[in-house]
Amino acid sequence: MRLSQNTRRTPDIVRRSREQANSRRGSVGLDHIILKLTTLGAEGGRRKGFVVSSRATIGRNAENLISVSSDPTMEPVHAVIERDADSVFSVRAASGTVAVRVSIDEERDSAREWPLLLGASFAAASSVAKVTGVTPRHVEIRFVTGPIAGTTHTVDETGATLGRSLDNTIVVPDGDLSRSHFRIVRVDTTFYLRDLSSTNGTYMRLEGPYAGPCKLRLTDRILVARTGFSINRFDYGIAEEMGVRDAMEDRAAVVQDLLHVARSPCSYVAVFDGHGGSNCAAFLRKQLHLHLADDLAKIHGEWNEVSTKAAMTAAFLRADERFISSSGKPQAGSTAVVALVTTKLLCCANVGDSRAVLCRGGDPIPLSEDHKPSRKDEAARIKAAGGFVIHKRVMGELAVSRAFGDAELKKSISELVGDSAEAPPPPTPASKKKRRLVVAEPDIRVDDLNPADEFVLLATDGLFNVFSDTDAVAFARADLMHHADPQLAAERLANSAIHDRKSRALRHWLMPHA
């Protein structure tokens, strides 16, 4: 089916559609962004981020703030990134091809983000397609490069999927495509492009109806020529080492823009140390930030210590209940240490013995205190619930006094022992018998950010069992001062803990504060 010429939209309709799409984008309130290379082998594998404060050019020439000489398709000055009066950053092409990755995040209404306007061009792996016809009931796309170049496909109101699997509407034999790579969906009378969590992404090119500046938001990915960049609020490094462990049960998570709303940006980082298997840590990595986002979004006005602590506590407890009720793994548990960074505040919450330390002017500032059964206040809480601590473990079993999961130890003494004559409970008051021995209620610290703040270090006990706070901060600080690469600093710290100081296993996260 060939769409007729009279189905083409007028320039005004195209312009309004493009403006509406761009209005859904953009992270506000940013005084800088950091571009990190995502293309393997680009610039010798450089991992340190490029800081953009107001304006930057990307190109092959050394005069660019971001110079990429390793990409032969890069123009001398290829793209421009600029910050506007609302502190929103945008990217535009200067003399070459620039593309923005299509979002897969449903919370951002990604289905309405990129309308397939006449003349729009998008790419997936080696395939580039162009929209050659549009009506309220059909969209026509023609592939100009890739394995099916030269073919034209008409998509009706039922939509279509593209990928290398034979069950897609449009099958493309390309190993760099995912089995189901992207979807074309129709909403009302408009067709939209939506990525299906593909490995290599789907990119809308900034040409045709999308020529000109495109607003950027945190976590965006862009392609400048053949070089990929991610858009970040902070540079960071994550490292892990297994040591003598048989399996790695630790997890980490980074969300650069937690709330996706027009308020000050909020970044989320977390480290989880699982026990009894990796199930609980894996659950928290995928779910805890979603619970936090829900509760933090309910705060009206400016965040303060009271409202932030209440929201974080509610999110932690709800996530714990959700895991226990759905996992079917009563032995699985996990610690957690979480840091939220707004433009003004640093909020840290911990459950268990994973730890956070701030480097302020070279000095270590503890942001958390380990929840150990040997702590006097924790031992008193356990005793008040009718339990006991032996061999520095709760009921002789668990080495931390607070944790997610651990369903059996979340029971009260009356649930564990029962009220039968055959197994009489300890002689504790009735109210105490209902208290839980192990809890997931976090300790929370809220600090104002300080110009002297240099970086935050989050890590499991595998690091802090062999490094003091002071030594860990000094090691990371010296490394960062030498090469300013947080990923390399994180890896070197992990390597020293395992190989020089013989830690069993660890995972940690290092974020310099710009």
Q: Is the dihedral of CA 26, 30, 31, 34 positive or negative?
A: negative
Tokens standing for 166?
């034979």
Check whether 473 has a pLDDT greater than 90. Answer: yes
Percent of the chain with pLDDT over 70: 83
- Do 83 and 100 contact (CB within 8 A), yes or no? no
Query: Closest by alpha carbon to 471, among 482, 450, 491, 457?
Result: 457
Percent of the chain with pLDDT over 90: 68
Whole-number pLDDT of residue 247: 45
Q: Are residues 171 and 48 in the same domain?
A: yes
What's the DSSP call for residue 110?
Answer: G
Q: Are residues 168 and 225 in the same domain?
A: yes
Whole-number pLDDT of residue 248: 44
Q: Are residues 265 and 319 in the same domain?
A: yes
Strands in 55-59's sheet, in edge-to-edge order, are 66-67, 55-59, 79-83, 89-93, 214-215
Q: Are residues 179 and 54 in the same domain?
A: yes
Whole-number pLDDT of residue 39: 83
- Please state the pTM of the whole predicted model: 0.81
Query: Closest by alpha carbon to 413, among 423, 404, 399?
Result: 423
Give me the residues paired with residue 507 across strands.
240
- Do 102 and 114 contact (CB within 8 A), yes or no? yes
Whole-number pLDDT of residue 260: 66
> Domain ends where: 232, 263, 281?
232
162-180, pLDDT tens digit by residue? 999 999 999 999 999 999 9
Token pair 């268990």 in the structure block, residue: 352
Higher-scoring residue by pLDDT: 509, 15: 509
Higher-scoring residue by pLDDT: 429, 379: 379
Confidence of residue 303 (pLDDT cuts 50, 70, 90): confident
323-370, pLDDT tens digit by residue? 999 988 999 999 999 999 988 899 999 999 999 999 999 999 999 999
Q: Are residues 187 and 203 in the same domain?
A: yes
What's the rounded Cα separation, in Å, for the pair 327 and 405? 9
Q: Are residues 134 and 211 in the same domain?
A: yes
Compute how many other C-beta atoms are within 10 angstroms of the C-beta atom of residue 137. 12
How would DSSP label each residue in 155-211?
A: E-TT-EEEESSTTSSEE---TTS-SS-EEEEEETTEEEEEE-S-SS-EEEES-GGG-
Give me the residues paired with residue 70 across strands.
none
> Domain ends where: 197, 232, 267?
232
Q: Are residues 381 and 363 in the same domain?
A: no
Q: Are residues 13 and 101 in the same domain?
A: yes
Q: Are residues 367 and 383 in the same domain?
A: no
- Do 443 and 368 contact (CB within 8 A), yes or no? yes
Confidence of residue 295 (pLDDT cuts 50, 70, 90): very high
Whole-number pLDDT of residue 164: 97
CA distances from 451 to 91, 414, 455, 486 (A): 29, 51, 11, 19
Tokens standing for 437?
């021995």
> Domain ends where: 232, 249, 282?
232
Phi-psi region of 63 (alpha: psi -120 to 50; beta: other; left: phi over 0): alpha
Compute how many other C-beta atoms are within 10 angstroms of the C-beta atom of residue 9. 16
Q: Which domain holds residue 385?
A: 376-434
376-391, pLDDT tens digit by residue? 999 999 999 989 999 9
Q: CATH number, domain at 157?
A: 2.60.200.20
Non-local CB neighbours of 16 within 8 Å, separated by 6+ positions? none
Check whether 393 has a pLDDT greater than 90. Answer: yes
Whole-number pLDDT of residue 101: 96
Q: Are residues 345 and 305 in the same domain?
A: yes
Q: CATH number, domain at 302?
A: 3.60.40.10
245-276, pLDDT tens digit by residue? 444 445 788 888 888 664 568 899 999 999 99
Check whether 206 has a pLDDT greater than 80. Answer: yes
Q: Are residues 175 and 203 in the same domain?
A: yes
Whole-number pLDDT of residue 44: 61
- Do 510 and 236 contact (CB within 8 A), yes or no? yes
- Do 386 and 432 contact (CB within 8 A), yes or no? yes
Query: Closest by alpha carbon to 241, among 486, 511, 492, 472?
Result: 492
Compute how many other C-beta atoms are within 10 angstroms of the C-beta atom of residue 393. 16
Helix, strand, or coil (residue 139): strand
Q: How many structural domains does the chain have? A: 3
Check whether 24 has a pLDDT greater than 80. Answer: no
Higher-scoring residue by pLDDT: 104, 94: 94
Whole-number pLDDT of residue 352: 98
Confidence of residue 428 (pLDDT cuts 50, 70, 90): low
**Mean pLDDT estimate for the chain:** 87
Confidence of residue 104 (pLDDT cuts 50, 70, 90): confident
Q: Are residues 63 and 113 in the same domain?
A: yes
